[in-house]
Amino acid sequence: MAYSKQIPTGFPTDFLWGGATSASQFEGGWNLDNKGITQAEVTPKSEDRRMNIAEATLASIEAAIADTTDTRYPKRRGVDFYHRYELDIALLAELGLKAFRLSIAWARIFPKGTESEPNEAGLAFYDKIFDTLNKYDIEPIVTLSHYEMPINLTIERNGWFDRKTIEDFTRYTEVVFKRYHDKVNYWMTFNEINAAQWGFHATGAVDFGLPENEQLSIRYQAIHHQFVASAIAVQQIHALDPDAKIGMMLARMQTYPLTPNPADVQAAQLADQLNLFFADVQVRGEYPEYMNRYFAEHDIVLDFAPEDAATLAAGKVDYMSFSYYTS
Question: Whole-angstrom Cα distance, residue 85 to residue 128?
Answer: 9
pLDDT, tens digit (0-9, with 9 covering 90-100), for 289-325:
999 999 999 999 999 999 999 999 999 999 999 998 8
In a domain, 6, yes or no: no
Q: Which residues of 287-303 are buried (b: 16+ CB within 10 A; e: fewer)?
A: beeebeebbeeeebeee
CA distances for 106 relative to 38, 156, 178, angstroms: 8, 16, 15
pLDDT, tens digit (0-9, with 9 covering 90-100), for 206-255:
999 999 999 999 999 999 999 999 999 999 999 999 999 999 999 998 89
Q: For residues 124-131, give the mean pLDDT.
A: 98
In a domain, 66, yes or no: yes
Residue 101: enclosing H or E segment and its boundaries? Answer: strand 99-103
pLDDT at 184 over 70: yes
In a domain, 1, yes or no: no
In a domain, 2, yes or no: no
CA distances for 99 relative to 89, 131, 208, angstroms: 11, 14, 38
Q: For residues 64-89, give the mean pLDDT.
A: 95
| pLDDT for the residue numbered 7 | 58
If pLDDT is split at 50, 70 and 90, which confidence band does 327 have? confident
pLDDT, tens digit (0-9, with 9 covering 90-100), for 251-298:
998 899 999 999 999 999 999 999 999 999 999 999 999 999 999 999
Q: CA dihedral defined by 273, 276, 148, 136, rounded to 10 degrees?
A: 160
In a domain, 139, yes or no: yes
In a domain, 84, yes or no: yes
In a domain, 12, yes or no: no
Q: For residues 190-203, give the mean pLDDT.
A: 94
Residue 186 is part of which domain span?
18-323
pLDDT at 188 over 60: yes
- Which CATH number goes with the domain that contains 289? 3.20.20.80
Q: What is the pTM of this model?
A: 0.94
How many domains does the chain fold into?
Answer: 1
Question: Whole-angstrom Cα distance, residue 172 to residue 233?
Answer: 10
pLDDT, tens digit (0-9, with 9 covering 90-100), for 1-49:
555 556 566 888 889 999 999 999 999 999 999 999 999 999 888 765 4
DSSP 51: B
Contacts of 44 (CB under 8 A, 6+ apart): 51, 52, 60, 64, 72, 73
Contacts of 125 (CB under 8 A, 6+ apart): 33, 82, 108
